[in-house]
Amino acid sequence: MNQPDGHSRICLCLTGETIQEDLETYRRYARFSDMAEIRADFLLPEDMRRLDRVPSLLPVPLILTIRRASDGGVYDGAESDRLELIRRALAGGFAFVDLEEDLGQPPLEREARSRGTRVIRSFHESSGPDPGMEARIRGLKRHPTDLPKAAVRVDSTAELCSLVDLYRRLEGWEKILVGMGPASLSLRILACSLGSYLTFSSAAKQQAAEGHTDPETLDTVYRARALSRSTRLFAIAGNPVLHSRSPRIHNTGFASLGMDAVYFPVQAESIEGFLRLAGTLGIRGASVTLPFKQAVIPHLASVEVDVPRIGACNTLVRSRGGWHGANTDVSGFMEPLAAASADADLSRLRATVIGAGGAARSAVYALRRTGCEVLVLNRTPARAEELAAELGCRWAALDRRGLSAMAESSDIVVQTTSVGMSPDDRSDPVEGYAFQGHEIAYDIVYTPPMTRFLLRAKSAGCRIIQGGDMLLCQAMHQFRLFTGKEFPEADRARLRTELVSSAGDATAGDASADDATIV
Ligand code: ATR
């Protein structure tokens, strides 16, 4: 913890239409929440008038907030009515009341203080942190018991860096400082360790503000309450990346081994932006995913020998001279394939790889290394041609002629494009190809666990390999590079059950499958 009082707090924002709904949401997350904010602007009018009852119903410190539409809330009534609602609710004994920066209401503040309610003096900024923000935040503290709050929209890694800088300039000073927007997730996880009094969260699928995560995920996946300035930081850089399962994998390993470390997603607009943020935060190691696996290579100070040959890097480890780059996709790809083809001599087999991006490069490289003959099919033929020339294989466009060529090169068929990934899970990049049953079908997409491509192959009698297996295998190698330790075997088995569910569980077309990204 890096705060004056040494505590980290997860605050659950309650946005129900009724007090009863808020109570039920709170009960669901009680174990993971230290505080709650009643966003009374969401309540129906009759429940808004009963706000004074709420503090006696919830056993944690409560923030009373009636947020105006102009500040991102939904209250659109008269301002005098809002202030009267707040004044009446204060009688119930809230721990905090949120009053906006521009509100000149000394009687309301005095009333709050006389009841032992602390004033959170807040502003919400829809553009990124600016140079004047430090002074503006300091100016929010008009009384010794006031708790300043700034919620600042961050949309880029440059703005994330500015927000980290702001945390540092306000170090040791009590405040709530949080980022808003989907790109802010990393700093919402780290908020308390960077010096915010609390970090906000919302019930799953009920985000009070863009970028909120649910308290259970914050507490159990990211261990947000236990993070401190000495916590070792690891990340995954990509775009899109916010639904990646890699945080679940690496953080499970850290927790089991009792390591003070956390791994979080950074949705970056460029790899350069991510690397700047990594420098600012002191990130020690990172996974690199779509679309940066090739673009990261010029930024590496040193590489493992196969990285330039593959032309893709998915693992960064900070070394004295800069970033060291490795590729764990190759071994992550080969291990499940070797297991599935135990009886076959891979060097005698013919394979087709669909796609010619960063993930395809690792698959083609791995297959070529075993001596397999490889055909690359890609929507953009020039990319297939370039990859084929570099790694010594045949290529064709992903069209009818390409699919006929695939029929002749189909002992192993590897799907490396994002086609078929949730929410686009009814798609199949080789819809026109009829599986014959002898193929080993390998999809590196892992959500849904059973893609349409795999489902078709399985129904034709093919052996299949699910993307979750490759994800786990490459992550095991990454974990060793990040920590120097082996990933705990029991966790690996448990995670495999989660990621590689058998047919009958989440399958292509299952609308409940989560979004995710190839890692
Ligand atoms: P990654 O690092 O995950 O491989 P990438 O480098 O962006 O990501 O490559 C994505 C691959 O998916 C490419 O082969 C891409 O084809 P193009 O080179 O033609 O872009 C392929 N891909 C993406 N969307 C596709 C679609 N709708 N149909 C066919 N192929 C697609």
Q: Helices 381-391 and 358-370 sit at what angle, rounded to 10 degrees?
A: 40
What is the DSSP code string of 405-461? HHHTS-SEEEE-SSTT-TTSTT--TTTT----S-PEEEE---SSSB-HHHHHHHHTT
Contact 118 CB / ligand 1 (< 6 Å)? no
- Residue 516: the pLDDT is 32
C-beta 466 within 6 A of ligand 1: no
Mean pLDDT of 471-481: 98
- For 144-185, the pLDDT digits (tens) are 999 999 999 999 999 999 999 999 999 999 999 999 999 999
Ligand 1 center–CA 343 separation, angstroms? 32
Using the predicted structure, report yes or no on whether residue 6 has a pLDDT greater than 50. Answer: yes
Cis upstream peptide for 131 (omega within 30°): no
Q: 226-240 pLDDT, tens per residue?
A: 999 999 999 999 998
Rounded Cα–Cα distance for residues 441 and 414 (Å): 6
Q: How far, in Å, from the CA of 240 to the mean position of ligand 1? A: 14
Q: Compute φ and ψ for 369, nearest 5 degrees.
A: -65, -30
Q: Check pocket membership of 475 for ligand 1, CB cut-off 6 A.
A: no
The answer, yes or no, to whether any atom of ligand 1 lies below 6 A from the CB of 379, is yes
Q: What's the 419 CA to ligand 1 centre distance in angstroms?
A: 8
10-224: which CATH architecture? Alpha-Beta Barrel (3.20)
Number of other CB atoms surrounding residue 339 within 10 Å: 11
Ligand 1 neighbourhood includes 419 CB (under 6 angstroms): yes
Q: From the CA of 167, how far away is ligand 1's center (Å)?
A: 39
Q: Is the CB of 356 under 6 A from ligand 1?
A: yes
Return the higher-pLDDT residue of 208 and 312: 312
Question: Cα Rg for the chain, rounded, in angstroms?
Answer: 26
Report the pLDDT value the prediction gives residue 341, as an integer from 0 to 100.
86
Q: Is the pLDDT of residue 454 over 50?
A: yes
Q: Is the CB of 382 under 6 A from ligand 1?
A: no
**Block residue for tokens 């970028």:** 211
Residue 290: predicted pLDDT: 87
The whole-number average pLDDT for the span 292-297 is 95
- Of all protein residues, whose CA lies closest to atom 4 belonging to ligand 1? 357
163 touches 133 (CB < 8 A) = no
Here the tokens at position 487 are 């990933």
Class of domain 338-470 as given by CATH: alpha beta
133 Cα–ligand 1 center, Å: 41
Asked if residue 265 has a cis previous peptide bond (ω within 30° of 0), the answer is no
Catalytic residue list contains 149:
no
Residue 293 CA: distances (Å) to CA of 149, 234, 236: 38, 17, 11
Mutate to test the pocket of ligand 1, among 246, 271, 352, 379 (most ligand atoms within 8 A of CB): 379
Answer yes or no: is pLDDT of 46 > 70.
yes
Mean of per-residue pLDDT scores for the chain? 93
* pLDDT score, position 467: 97
> How distant, in Å, are the alpha carbons of 171, 193, 355 from that of 335?
47, 38, 20
Which residue, judged by its Cα, is nearest atom 22 of ligand 1?
417
Task: Tell me how far the alpha carbon of residue 443 lies from the centroid of ligand 1, in angstroms.
Answer: 13
The set of residues, in sequence order, having a beta carbon less than 8 Å from that of 382 and lying 6+ positions away, is none
Q: Kindly state if the Cβ of 518 falls inside 6 Å of ligand 1.
A: yes
Torsion of CA 479, 363, 323, 468, to 10 degrees: -30
Q: CA 456 → CA 130, 434, 437, 459, 509, distances in Å? A: 53, 8, 10, 5, 13
Residue linked to tokens 């045949």:
394
Q: Distance between CA atoms of 471 and 328, rounded to whole angstroms? A: 10
Q: Whose CA is nearest to atom 5 of ligand 1?
A: 357
Please answer whether residues 312 and 361 qualify as being in contact, where contact means their C-beta atoms are separated by less than 8 angstroms.
yes
Structure tokens belonging to residue 43: 């309540």
Within 10 angstroms of residue 128's Cβ, the number of other Cβ atoms is 19
Tell me how far apart the terminal alpha carbons of the chain are, to the nearest angstrom: 31
Q: How confident is the model at residue 503, as a pLDDT? A: 44
Predicted confidence (pLDDT) per residue in 244-282, tens digit: 999 999 999 999 999 999 999 999 999 999 999 999 999
Q: Whose CA is nearest to atom 14 of ligand 1?
A: 355
Ligand 1 atom index nearest CA of 356: 14
Instruction: For 225, list phi and psi in degrees, rounded to 5.
Output: -75, -20
- As a whole number, mean pLDDT of residues 321-343 equals 94
Distance 90 CA to ligand 1 centre (A): 56
Residue where the block lists tokens 């807040």: 122
What is the structure's pLDDT at 210?
Answer: 74
Task: Quickly list DSSP for 61-95.
Answer: -EEEE--BGGGTS-B-S-HHHHHHHHHHHHTT--S
Helix/strand/coil for 37: strand
Long-range contacts of 17-26 (CB under 8 A, 24+ apart): 17/42, 17/43, 17/44, 17/47, 18/43, 18/44, 18/47, 19/43, 19/47, 19/50, 19/51, 19/53, 19/54, 19/57, 22/54, 23/57, 23/58, 25/203, 25/206, 26/58, 26/60
What is the model's pLDDT at position 508?
53
Q: Which residues of 404-441 are buried (b: 16+ CB within 10 A; e: fewer)?
A: ebbeebbbbbbbbbbbbbbeebeebbbeebebeeebbb
Once rounded to an integer, what is the mean pLDDT over residues 23-44?
Answer: 97
Contacts of 103 (CB under 8 A, 6+ apart): none
CB 219 within 8 A of CB 10: yes
The answer to whether 272 and 299 are in contact (CB under 8 A) is yes
Protein residue closest via CA to atom 16 of ligand 1: 379
Cα–Cα distance, 109 to 474 (Å, whole number): 56
Least confident of 33-42, 102-111, 380-389, 448-457: 102-111
Whether the pLDDT of residue 420 is over 80: the answer is: yes
pLDDT band at 505 (very low <50, low <70, confident <90, very high): very low
In sequence order, the 6+-apart residues with CB closer than 8 A to the CB of 160 are: 154, 179, 183, 184, 186, 187, 266, 277
Ligand 1 nearest-atom number relative to CA 380: 19
Q: Report pTM.
A: 0.92
Of the residues 141, 293, 458, 485, only one is catalytic, namely: 293
510 pLDDT above the threshold of 50: no
Please, are residues 414 and 356 in contact by the beta-carbon 8 Å criterion? no
Instruction: Give CA–CA dist 147/142, Å, rounded.
Output: 9
Domains of the chain, residue spans = 10-224, 338-470
Any atom of ligand 1 within 6 Å of the Cβ of 126:
no
Nearest to 368 by CA among 340, 390, 384, 383: 390
Report H helices in 197-304: 215-216, 246-256, 271-281
Q: Spell out the SS3 assignment of 17-34.
A: CCHHHHHHHHHHHHHHCC
- Which residue among 417, 424, 427 has the greatest number of ligand 1 atoms within 8 angstroms of its CB, and so is best to mutate? 417
Q: Cα dihedral sign for 487, 344, 463, 451?
A: positive
Average pLDDT over every residue of 337-363: 92
> Distance, CA 333 to ligand 1 centroid (Å)?
18
What pLDDT score does 504 carry? 42
Amino acid 256 reads S
